[in-house]
Structure 1
Amino acid sequence: MIINTQLENKGNLFPGKVLSFYQDVDKIYFKTENGVILQITIIRGSVIRFRYATDNNFENDFSYAISNEGARGYSKLEVGDYENHYKIKTKKIVIEISKSDLRTSIFDISGKVICNDDWGFHWEQSYEYGGNIVKMSKSAPQGECYYGLGDKATHLNLKGKRFENWATDQYAFGKDQDPLYKSVPFYIGMYEERAYGIFFDNTFKTFFDFCNERRNVTSFWAHGGEMNYYFFYGPDMQDVITRYTDLTGKPELPPLWALGYHQCKWSYYPESKVREITQKFRELQIPCDAIYLDIDYMDGFRCFTWNKDYFPDPKKMVSELEEDGFKTVVIIDPGIKVDDDYWVYKEALDKDYFCKRADGPYMRGKVWPGECYFPDFTNPEVRKWWSGLFKEIIDDIGVKGVWNDMNEPAVMEVPSKTFPNDVRHNYDGNFCSHRKAHNIYGTQMARATYEGVKKYAYPKRPFIITRSAYSGAQRYTSSWTGDNVASWEHLWIANIQAQRMSMSGMSFTGSDIGGFAEHPTGELYTRWIQLGVFHPFCRTHSSGDHGNQEPWTFGEEVIEVTKKYVELRYQLLPYLYTMFWEYAEYGIPMLKPLVLFDQYDLQTHYRTDEFIFGNQILVCPVQESNSKGRRMYIPRGNWYNYWTKEYITGGMERWVDADIDIIPMFIKEGALIPKYPVQQYVGEKEIKVLKLEAYFKLGAKEVSKVYEDAQDGYDYMKGRYSLRTFTVTGKEKEVIIQQHKDGTFITEYDTIEFEFIGLPFTIKEVEVDNVIVDLRSVQSSENDTILGIPKDFKEIHVIG
């Protein structure tokens, strides 16, 4: 208590002695002698909400981040009153609350500490703005590691660092620069191989300190609002992430074309240039599904307009591009030009939909069109109006996707790069200043955009991409990591950013391949495309100021390597789509850093480069120039080198050869990797055969899944999908593959083609559903390890 007294003298206030507690179903309240109330809500047995009030008063309970569709409920809840503490017990954890100062300790069922308060909740009054600066500090045992926080351009393990969450337009940001475009106040802690998570659901400017200021203390605080956080217990890290993603919301499946390769530049115009670019892709046979139009497609950068000099007939152009397999994606920014002859401006002005300053005038700021006003996307009426603006672009012209940029919100030529603090927002009826609304402004713009595109694209699925985001944005949109730089350092950053975003519930993310600012060498672009095809969102984008950045601008060698890897991505689309289905259905991250793949291996805790693509493919980009290979860590278990088919044992670091046309890739033994034939765009070809590369494993059963549906539309929600679950058992002279199929979708193909890799025997006999078949009728004439089997088999035996 001496510490508390000293801190109070510095302006910090702490809870007093607990006077009473009571339980209201799933909520338990503790009241202190100095007006602090702690509300503990049991969301699930391993998901607990902690919410603190001062002055005996909670704010209105409202959050943009929390999904209404997440799982709720628990099987056990006991509350006990002891001499020095209260105890709350669920099936998964035990919480103790100190009667003297409200500090909490959380244990697993066996009594091991998961997370302890250090100073716990404390606060100071904000004289400048009113309300409180709310703070929480937790004990950090030596050896605890930290991950998450969304888009941070730093080492994957956050130990020893401090961060700020304030969505910021950071053109050409650098390594360790903070803050960036997104605010994701969720982190994962891990100690003694037990993982937990904390989501600080506070949209004010927030800070996180992971043992930076005090060696054994982790703390987080906000410049306003409530101390309101959710605690998730694993102990597996993946369970922490899936529970957080369930709470903040899972996405719909995107259309399959959105997982193809996309090409973008600031800017492709006029129409002849767009056609030149798309025709070149088809001429060189580099697969591509989407072409992007940046701000120059508009009339004077006015949103929802077209520059008729550049694009005289956009509907015709978009239609003809689609006939050639290209979906058109257009940019839409939040700034609306102040112009009495501009219909969007006039409508919003008439309806009073623009953000205002504290004393009444509209928020005016300079962006690309010049002087602009900005819609208040925290107003549900404004979101509805905004969604209606997409009718012409989507329904009439036929654009298939929308790209929201500058939505931090970014404002030019002001030191803060954004709105002043005194701008007022509706906040869905919880009126507030920009201090509270800033971090969710971009997400609410993306939400309004998503609702509009979904409405007018129906019965097809919408595709949205946003630069700024807050927790929960994954329900509406994909994302990219902003205005990066064409440098080797940024290739390293992009690799970590995509991994971290996956760990933070936002898997559908990628970087600007090749770098946005400056111009990459052919070698750097090659290494970046090799990495980019293994990111869920795959797009080349550049500023254009330093030269063109299409694959053919770098010469023949780069064309060939680009083609090789983009073709590989298209072959792996059924694998990637199955990854996305697992993410949408269960919240499972699409990319897994090695620590997430195997947290029980201490060697993984500080690895940054290697990651698991889905569940079974290990990828490690080459991130230095003039490299003929690299050292990398192979996780525990046995793996096959994808390129050489060499069988290796993991759990160690090793040198891997990697000439300019190779990215180190390894396949987990026992895996079945589904592949489609190469297409120039999704839907170009009828899929006549599903290929499964079967990597032999001796011993225990391994499970692989393949999810398929119509590749667009919503019939999959009515059961029209195909989910094939394969269980593989390897023996010295036999491989047994069992198939279980769910869903009513009938695939185009009738045959599954197995290619066996690493078989220790020559195939002499094949049995399908208890019937021995003529080997010549199922075996490829070109390769005797390839077997074509009718797709709906239940069990096959491959015998040596």
Structure 2
Amino acid sequence: MVVSSAFLSSLLLAPCLAIAQSSTTASPASSTTAFASQFTLPASVDEGAPLLPTVNDPTAPDAQVKCPGYSASSVRTSSSGLTARLTLAGTACNVFGTDVQDLDLRVEYQTNSRLHINIRPSHVTAQNESWYLLSTEYVPAPSQESGQTTTSDLTFSWANTPGSGFGFNVTRNSTGEVLFSTSGTKLVFENQFIELVTHQEENYNLYGLGEVIHGLRLGNNLTRTIYAADVGDPIDYNLYGSHPFYLQTRYFEVGDDNSTTLVTEQLDPSNATGNYTSSTHGVYFRNAHGMEVLMRPTNVTWRTLGGSIDLYFFSGPTQPDVTHQYLDVIGMPALQSYWGFGFHQCRWGYQNWSVTEDVVNNYERFGIPLEVIWNDIDYMNQYRDFDNDPIRFNYSAGTAFLQRLHDRGQHYIPIIDSAIYVPSPDNASDAYQTFNDGNETGSFLLNPDGSLYIGAVWPGFTVFPDWLTTAAHAWWKNEMVTWHQKLPFDGAWIDMNEVSSFCVGSCGSGNLSLNPVHPPFALPGEPGNVIYDYPEGFNLTNATEAASASSASQSQAEATVTASSTTASVLTSSSSTSYLRTTPTPSQRNVNHPPYVINNVQGDLAVHAVSPNATHHNGILEYDVHNIWGHQILQATYAALLAAIPGKRPFIIGRSTFPSSGTLAGHWGGDNSAKFYYMYFSIPQALSFSLFGIPMFGVDTCGFNGNSDEELCNRWMQLSALFPFYRNHNTLSANPQEAYVWSSVIDATKAAMNVRFQLLPYLYTLFYNAHTQGDTVMRALAWEFPNDPSLADADRQFVLGPSILVTPVLTQGATTVDGVFPGLVEGTDVYYDWYNQTPVSVPSTKNTTIAAPLGHLPVYIRGGAVLATQQMAMTTRAARNTSWSLIVAPGVDGTASGSLYLDDGESLAPNATKIVTFAAEMGSLNVTVHGNYTGLDLPLANITIMGVPRAPPDNLVRINGQPVANSTYNATSMTLFIGGLEPVLGGKIWSANWSLS
């Protein structure tokens, strides 16, 4: 389409709500369909003012120097807390906003392990235009438990200090540790800037503060920006989710006289010796504004662009304790459907139902289990939510395909984007009922003048639901239910919910006659956007072909060197960037360009996002609630799926999350790349989400962006098999990477899936424990072994639950991997190789080398476990109908225990459940059964007992006193195998209590 310059000018001059930094980072999540005469938005629509983050600005004022702090007065104490008035202790500084003269302080001892501190402006309400206080309607905030007294393990103390004013300490009574201290620093509280500085010891250990691609331990030289952003997994920048929570562990060396000394250095696992103990606590800053946490060598500084100081402290003193205490505030994780733990396959580029079904059939052809097939936005009618392409993904063919899936025990999940297309008013054939229904009910965000806020996403100009209205929730539910009646999908994949927009401000206002418009960037696979991406380490695995490619690249480079040199000289001679710096206006807020500039990955807050001054129907600005938009669409989707599929647990995977999102959904790691280092980063990312209460986590296995290769996919398909959410997914322009593409990956995948399927009852039980009591599922070594400071930084291994140690290969070309077996050298723990069932030999050093040829994932059972397992099958439904086996892996004291949770695997409120507990010691195993669920009372096939020093006399084994003849003892592996048990117990293993001796 040829567009006049006059028209282009009108487009660029259309009403915009903000100006923002240029961004070339898009996060495409679907394929493109060619439409005739489609106008492409210019790249400039997603550009804005050049901004310099304040943390990088040498001219920025230091609030600790400029501001006066506050003074506390009118202090009133009670058995359950205190209240006070905080008054500005001098002349207002107004460095990044307007100082608040008077603040209210409220301290509550809410439980014996939880302390709540709230500081807010005096005489304001949650709906005051100048001050937004996060409503409990959107994010939970617990109240003080009735009858609570000062028996808390946490104590709040305060003082007015000359020169700095009001400061406070939070102390753990049982140990005397000061967990959080602002003493000697100044509290800064302005209408667009709040600062709280806390002291830290040297080399402190913080975990959490997500979402970020980073090692598990955050270190002391990192600025964590917390602002939901649509961006493809850059390292150390803000990503999709906002989780202002950290867990902190301190280690102490215990002397011979039982005195303790704080450990302030990182210890090497290979030479760490001594007697240590630890303590752990947690801190949650309940605030949805853009935020930064500055981790520096001696302090941690919290800065937020508005709201209040709403702090929760959790006394621990262990990681499990802190996690339980935190989840008591934000909510326990959802209990997932059993089928959700099967293997999931997706890619951007399954062009129609036939291609999608071919993928399903190929998995069956190669004998690889497949539980769920997904479609990216390829299926959509011109990228519109709740509307299938009538040719390629029509409803009649889709319903027939899904019926075939469901008959085989398989499932289907489509992507659902977060923006709604606005039809062209000049084209009657462009009608879109979903928009009409939402618009008529007032379900979309507005401009400040009350008109529709119209951004741009995949389909063109779009609007965005206003989740602060009940109308939007009702409209979304109706759309989901109506669509499900046409296509009986099984769950929802919520994408782009940061919320993302491809232009700055309301760029569609006045330009709707152009719709549908193309995004302001080329999509992968489009003509002229061919990407030649060789897999990582291609030169190592394909030397001849790599040399040829290198030669061609060199010739091309020589042909363009002159032009490149000319461009370079122009760039180097240009003047330095002139940054936009705004100054505070008394009693007013500049929400588009706050005076304090957070280190946002996209630069300006409105780039690739809905603008901060987009307005909700109740008058609240997006500036104040941006970080919870993603959480709220998950809330709406959960309710919608309950309505569409009554009585069944909603299965949702979402991209942008906030505290409490785990009560609704799982999360995938976003748009990673096909690189070995992203495979590594998947571990600390998963462990962090364990802390955030979102255990249903996985990443795009084999990588989303770029081309994977056989070795990387081999290793990654095995590693992800031990993650809760297990999905392979990649981008349109990349080569296919389904597990059946390479022969070695087929074998490696089956080997790892065999482990996964046997552990599915264990994994499901872990999720039940997470749902009912806040246990973590994937666990860091530091959490399971809290008295070993050498593990504080260990994030290349993990423990699944308490009993499964996983040590993956994370580097290309490696055939061994270094790892630790915590407690093995010290003699406190024993481990058994999953595959050959032999005890691991005690190494000479803690850090030892493990053989790991390609196709082998080192997995070990930690002693002290009893595991109930079932067999691998093509689906979880089939696997749940296989016979049971038991694995008994005694600890160093000869005992072992475990539990098993059973229900129908999908009901929101099961009619019947069962819990089985196991206790083994001194040559006996006792099984205790509670509950009345009978659906999995299947035969017991065999029992394997590891670490048996000698065979029982005459191999005599009894179950409920009756001899069992079919037992064999392997002296090499020290394993007793008892088989042929299908007839015992009447063929129903969980029908009653029983014992083995």
Do the structures match in fold with TM over 0.5? Answer: yes
CA distance in 1 between counterparts of 2:160 and 2:969 reads 77
**2:149 is matched with which residue?**
77
Does 2:810 match 1:623? Answer: yes
CA distance in 2 between counterparts of 1:502 and 1:30 reads 36
**1:664 is matched with which residue?**
858
Does 2:916 match 1:724? Answer: yes
**1:757 is matched with which residue?**
946
Which of 131, 136, 155 aligns to 2:215? It is 155
When the two structures are superposed, what TM-score results if normalisation uses the length of structure 1?
Answer: 0.90
Distance 1:543 1:395, change over 3 A: same
Does 2:410 match 1:326? Answer: yes
CA distance in 2 between counterparts of 1:578 and 1:478 reads 17
CA distance in 2 between counterparts of 1:144 and 1:272 reads 55
Quote the offset at 1:358 in angstroms. Answer: 1.6
Deviation by residue 1:156-214 (Cα, 9 ceiling, x = unmatched): 1112122000111112x3332x1111111100112232111111110000111222xxx
Distance 1:329 1:234, change over 3 A: same
Quote the offset at 1:629 in angstroms. Answer: 0.8
CA distance in 2 between counterparts of 1:647 and 1:477 reads 38
**1:446 is matched with which residue?**
634
CA distance in 1 between counterparts of 2:938 and 2:500 reads 52
Matches for 1:267-346 after TM superposition, within 5 Å? 267-312=349-394, 313=396, 314-339=398-423, 341-346=431-436
CA distance in 2 between counterparts of 1:291 and 1:581 reads 25
Quote the offset at 1:620 in angstroms. Answer: 1.6
Match of 2:71, SS? coil
Does 2:67 match 1:12? Answer: yes
**2:525 is matched with which residue?**
none
More strand by percentage: 1
Q: What residue identity is the alignment partner of 1:759?
A: V
Decide whether the 8 Å contact of 2:490 with 2:651 is kept in 1: yes
**1:179 is matched with which residue?**
238
CA distance in 1 between counterparts of 2:340 and 2:143 reads 28
Does 2:311 match 1:229? Answer: yes
Decide whether the 8 Å contact of 1:198 with 1:230 is kept in 2: yes
**2:964 is matched with which residue?**
775
CA distance in 2 between counterparts of 1:221 and 1:233 reads 23
Match of 2:849, SS? strand
CA distance in 1 between counterparts of 2:103 and 2:754 reads 60
Decide whether the 8 Å contact of 1:702 with 1:728 is kept in 2: yes
CA distance in 2 between counterparts of 1:328 and 1:610 reads 32
Match of 1:551, SS? coil
**2:929 is matched with which residue?**
741
**2:136 is matched with which residue?**
63
Match of 1:389, SS? helix
Distance 1:351 1:714, change over 3 A: closer
Which of 686, 690, 696 aligns to 1:502? It is 690
Match of 1:282, SS? helix
Does 2:375 match 1:188? Answer: no
Which of 446, 454, 458 aligns to 2:646? It is 458
Quote the offset at 1:29 in angstroms. Answer: 1.1
Deviation by residue 1:387-424 (Cα, 9 ceiling, x = unmatched): 12111333442100111101111111446110111111
Does 2:208 match 1:170? Answer: no
Match of 2:876, SS? coil
Distance 1:425 1:655, change over 3 A: same
Quote the offset at 1:547 in angstroms. Answer: 1.3
Does 2:170 match 1:106? Answer: yes
Per mean C-alpha deviation after superposition, the further-off stretch among 410-419 and 584-593 is 410-419
**1:681 is matched with which residue?**
875
**1:357 is matched with which residue?**
447
Which of 743, 760, 775 aligns to 1:573? It is 760
Quote the offset at 1:135 in angstroms. Answer: 1.9
Distance 1:363 1:10, change over 3 A: farther
CA distance in 1 between counterparts of 2:420 and 2:84 reads 48
CA distance in 2 between counterparts of 1:653 and 1:726 reads 32
Distance 1:743 1:136, change over 3 A: farther
State how many pairs are aligned.
758
Report percent identity of matched pairs.
Answer: 22
CA distance in 2 between counterparts of 1:603 and 1:705 reads 31
**1:707 is matched with which residue?**
901
Quote the offset at 1:377 in angstroms. Answer: 1.8
Quote the offset at 1:139 in angstroms. Answer: 1.3
Deviation by residue 1:107-142 (Cα, 9 ceiling, x = unmatched): 22335214132358855465xxxx241122211012
Decide whether the 8 Å contact of 1:265 with 1:544 is kept in 2: yes
Quote the offset at 1:243 in angstroms. Answer: 1.2
Distance 1:707 1:182, change over 3 A: same
**2:12 is matched with which residue?**
none
Quote the offset at 1:22 in angstroms. Answer: 4.4
CA distance in 1 between counterparts of 2:461 and 2:403 reads 34
**2:120 is matched with which residue?**
53
Which of 183, 191, 203 aligns to 2:288? It is 203
Deviation by residue 1:238-274 (Cα, 9 ceiling, x = unmatched): 1111211221011331111111100000132211101
CA distance in 1 between counterparts of 2:880 and 2:205 reads 48
Quote the offset at 1:443 in angstroms. Answer: 0.9
Does 2:341 match 1:259? Answer: yes
Which of 949, 957, 965 aligns to 1:766? It is 957
Structure 1, unpaired ranges of 5+: 1-5, 79-89
**2:180 is matched with which residue?**
116
CA distance in 2 between counterparts of 1:581 and 1:283 reads 34
**1:136 is matched with which residue?**
196
| CA RMSD between the two structures | 2.4
Decide whether the 8 Å contact of 1:146 with 1:210 is kept in 2: no
Match of 2:387, SS? coil
Q: What residue identity is the alignment partner of 1:594?
A: L
Which of 614, 622, 642 aligns to 2:834? It is 642
Match of 1:16, SS? strand
Q: What residue identity is the alignment partner of 2:446?
A: K
Decide whether the 8 Å contact of 1:689 with 1:749 is kept in 2: no
Q: What residue identity is the alignment partner of 1:40?
A: V
Decide whether the 8 Å contact of 1:425 with 1:433 is kept in 2: yes
Does 2:82 match 1:28? Answer: yes
Per mean C-alpha deviation after superposition, the further-off stretch among 131-140 and 102-111 is 102-111
**1:83 is matched with which residue?**
none
Decide whether the 8 Å contact of 2:166 with 2:187 is kept in 1: no
Decide whether the 8 Å contact of 2:476 with 2:636 is kept in 1: yes
Deviation by residue 1:71-120 (Cα, 9 ceiling, x = unmatched): 96377523xxxxxxxxxxx2422222225544222222335214132358
CA distance in 2 between counterparts of 1:605 and 1:91 reads 28
CA distance in 1 between counterparts of 2:333 and 2:467 reads 20
Quote the offset at 1:568 in angstroms. Answer: 2.4
Query: Which fold has the larger relative contact order, with Cα–Cα distance below 8 Å and residues 6 or more apart in sequence?
Result: 2
Q: What residue identity is the alignment partner of 1:566?
A: M
Match of 1:425, SS? coil
Per mean C-alpha deviation after superposition, the further-off stretch among 408-417 and 276-285 is 408-417
CA distance in 2 between counterparts of 1:247 and 1:585 reads 14
Match of 2:878, SS? coil
CA distance in 1 between counterparts of 2:858 and 2:487 reads 43
Distance 1:401 1:327, change over 3 A: same
Per mean C-alpha deviation after superposition, the further-off stretch among 624-633 and 701-710 is 701-710
**1:367 is matched with which residue?**
457
Which of 493, 499, 513 aligns to 1:403? It is 493
CA distance in 2 between counterparts of 1:269 and 1:184 reads 36
Distance 1:652 1:58, change over 3 A: farther
Does 2:614 match 1:423? Answer: yes
Per mean C-alpha deviation after superposition, the further-off stretch among 507-516 and 749-758 is 749-758
Distance 1:356 1:65, change over 3 A: closer
Which of 658, 678, 681 aligns to 1:470? It is 658
CA distance in 2 between counterparts of 1:451 and 1:619 reads 36
CA distance in 1 between counterparts of 2:72 and 2:817 reads 58
CA distance in 2 between counterparts of 1:326 and 1:655 reads 40
